[in-house]
Amino acid sequence: MGGGRNLVYLLRQGYEVFGVDASGEAVEYVRSVAAALAPQLPAENFRVEKIEAMSFPDGFAEVVVCNSVLHFAADDRQFESMVRSLWRVVRPGGLLFCRLGSTIGGTFERVEGRRFLLPGGMEWYLVDEALLMRLTSVLGGELVDPLKTTVVQGARCMTTWVMRKRG
């Protein structure tokens, strides 16, 4: 959720929105935004939880959006746990939309494993096409659109990965 910038449009359009963030401050901020824009939504829709430990039930959501979060994974284990948790809450026929840091289209200094040092000094977990395609297959998903990557002026590469859950 972070600052909830992606939720504002959805809230204004009347969608039933839910979210998680490990930061209590971020959740409180989003709850205040939601209370102003969509007062009918319960504050409990926004929870202080890690992505890999979400309490939403299996097959709960028609669409799950994870924007600029997965590259904060510490390692392969946490990344896969986060992705599996996101996928778990997508209902059959639903969509998982992820935008995450990648090495697709860029060259970065490897720190260890899939952790890379970006030009601005940030260290991120970066995926590549092979990993995303393997996970799409392992999870039983299908790409809705080909992977797309935006190169942000040599500073980072952000890839969009959108899968449909077969069902």
Residues 78 and 131 in one domain: yes
Domain contains 55: no
Strand positions, DSSP E, the chain: 19-21, 46-48, 61-67, 90-101, 109-112, 115-117, 123-125, 141-143, 148-152, 156-165
Residues 30 and 92 in one domain: no
Q: Alpha-carbon distance 167 to 91, whole Å? A: 8
Write out the chain's pLDDT in tens, 167 residues. 566 777 889 999 999 999 999 999 999 999 999 999 999 999 999 999 999 999 999 999 999 999 999 999 999 999 999 999 999 999 999 999 999 999 999 999 999 999 999 998 999 999 999 999 999 999 999 999 999 999 999 899 999 999 999 98
Torsion sign across C-alpha atoms 53, 122, 3, 158: negative
Domain contains 154: yes
Helix (H) or strand (E) holding 81: helix 76-88
Q: Alpha-carbon distance 37 to 160, whole Å? A: 28
Q: Alpha-carbon distance 152 to 37, whole Å? A: 31
Residue 6: what pLDDT?
79
How many domains does the chain fold into?
A: 2
| Cβ-based neighbour number of residue 17 at 10 Å | 22
Q: Which domain holds residue 22?
A: 1-49
Residues 160 and 98 in one domain: yes
Residue 2: what pLDDT?
64
Q: Alpha-carbon distance 141 to 81, whole Å? A: 16
Q: Alpha-carbon distance 29 to 4, whole Å? A: 8
Residue 167: what pLDDT?
83
Domain contains 145: yes
- Farthest-apart Cα atoms in the chain, separation: 47
Residues 7 and 85 in one domain: no
* CATH number for the domain that contains residue 157: 3.40.50.150
Residues 39 and 103 in one domain: no
